[in-house]
Structure 1
Amino acid sequence: MTIIEIPAGWPADETTALAVQRELRARLVRDEEGPPAGEGHVTGLDVAYDDERDLVAAAAVVLDARTLEVVEEATAVGRISFPYVPGLLAFREIPTVLAALDSLTADPGLLVCDGYGLAHPRRFGLASHLGVLTGRPSVGVAKNPFAFAYEEPGPARGDTSPLLADGEEVGRAVRTRAGVKPVFVSVGHRVSLAGACAHTLRLTPRYRLPETTRHADSLCRRALKDALGEHASPPGAPGAF
């Protein structure tokens, strides 16, 4: 297995990363509706870390948007490419996520990230970052609301409420299962918020989390486990990493 190394020139400190983030944010497209829910392909993206060995495993899983059947899946394992800094987490994993995406032969269609897009302190989370870099429509579907205020949506599947930052709607809390806590949906790139919510509901016919996230989460964990097993040191030997 090949370990994806950190690209030459990749930001190594907070100041440089913030400058790159500002530059890319200027390219964000927010005035497109995006692909219709239930058509084409949707691709789930997720990562798993082993900080002790400085590794991150990324998974990209393409689903048929209508049937939610898996079309193709790919993984990549790389070096963690940036220190942990809240608001700059995308820089830790993007090289490996892009490597997984590049391994696909199918058209990824809409990218669905386990994280945030505009629901970010500087309105440029992982979903937005990946969308701009790839040029693809993208959405973020997060398990938690980060630091943003919201009121509980109604109890029925499909009920929503605004996710607010200083009075601005940066996403929506979306109830995907009746009586179950909501997920937090935000626009990444080239998709409307209404479209992002429609895709989220289409991707959650049975469970709280989208099928894209469920498949990608399982796959990246397996990829990391396989990588650690492949590179494990024999007892008493120096660490492989």
Structure 2
Amino acid sequence: MFNSTDVFNELISKGLKPVGRVVENPDKENSFLVFLRTSYDNDGRPHLSKRLISSIVGNFERENITLIITFLDEKALELDAAVTAMLSSKFPEAVVNSIVSLENGEGLVSIDLSDQALDTDTVTIEQTIREFLGFLGVEKLEFIFSTPLPLSTVTACIGMVRKHAPITAEDLTQKLVDAGFAKPSATWLNSTLDRWRKDGFLHRRTDKRFILTLAGLKHVGTRRNRTSPDISRALAIGRLA
């Protein structure tokens, strides 16, 4: 099974040097995005050989691997440099690397996030880039964010509450980190817990610890054996009434 590093090294060995790193395609398994720099000779002919590229792509296809080649021309390289400089200034702790490609007026932005990036950073970064490139006339944009750790999800968050309740928001944050998720921001976590509380799925005790309500247990599902901690929690919830 090839990963992005394997693809990068294979391309280098065949004489192709990608711009930045190879990115796994989030929309398709065994598919990778490759950025190549386009340059031309004095007669306007591209230095990159189409035959070589087609041959390499064909070799990968025989291994059931799809390569999506995106070329960076001079205008795209100027935009790429501008976006990189802007991100380095505004998000120095969150962004490790970025690549902007442009084709027919549509842009593809690939961003590598650091392990210091918060889940809310992706929204802010995307909005900032859209505004920045919008002033330059590029309005159709697609974003791909790569993170060293998976971002926390609502499912993971509520699952941790069920497993470790009663639990504080601070302890819940640590449980998510211990489980291998990127540290969620306090804003996102508090918003998620508050939304579930207002929906009647969570109860916040006077000691600021959260537990699932009976409705919450039914919503996320329970294990049906008599030793399940869900049963004990359900009885405890009943005694709160």
TM > 0.5 between the two?
no
Q: Specify which structure has the higher proportion of helix.
A: 2
TM-score, scaled to structure 1: 0.26
TM-score, scaled to structure 2: 0.26
Larger Rg: 2
Q: Specify which structure has the higher proportion of strand.
A: 1
